[in-house]
Amino acid sequence: MNKLDKLIKLNFKHVGTWSISNNKLKRNLTDGHKFKDVLYSFVIDDDVKYIGKTIMELQRRLYGYKNPAPTQQTNIKNNKKLKKLTKIG
């Protein structure tokens, strides 16, 4: 069983997409905006690229990846990773 199958078995569901425009990330959440205390993942072409956990609302957590502050190392790292993966995917 691959990682994506395992996530689906754990009731993960698709709640949005990332895109890039003018080297800026854009996220489109279609569901789960207010979900708290959740595991989330980034998947490209059925390949799990990242799994994270947040206790805050999902929309707020993802905002940090979209607009990282200079001291937020995880957000900066994931912002760069998402930009790279979005250009490829």
Report which residue type is found at 19. Answer: S
Question: Which domains, from first to last, does the chain contain?
Answer: 3-88 (3.40.1440.50)
Instruction: State the helix-helix crossing angle for 73-88 and 58-66, rounded to 10 degrees.
Output: 80
Encode the chain (89 residues) as per-residue pLDDT tens digits: 888 899 999 889 999 999 988 888 999 999 988 989 999 999 988 889 899 999 999 999 999 999 999 999 999 999 999 998 887 65
Question: In the chain, where does DSSP find H-type helix?
Answer: 3-9, 58-66, 73-88
Task: Give how far Cα 5 sits from Cα of 10, 29, 47, Å.
Answer: 9, 22, 10
Q: Give the pLDDT confidence score for residue 89 in this predicted structure.
A: 52
Look-up: residue for tokens 């990682």? Answer: 3
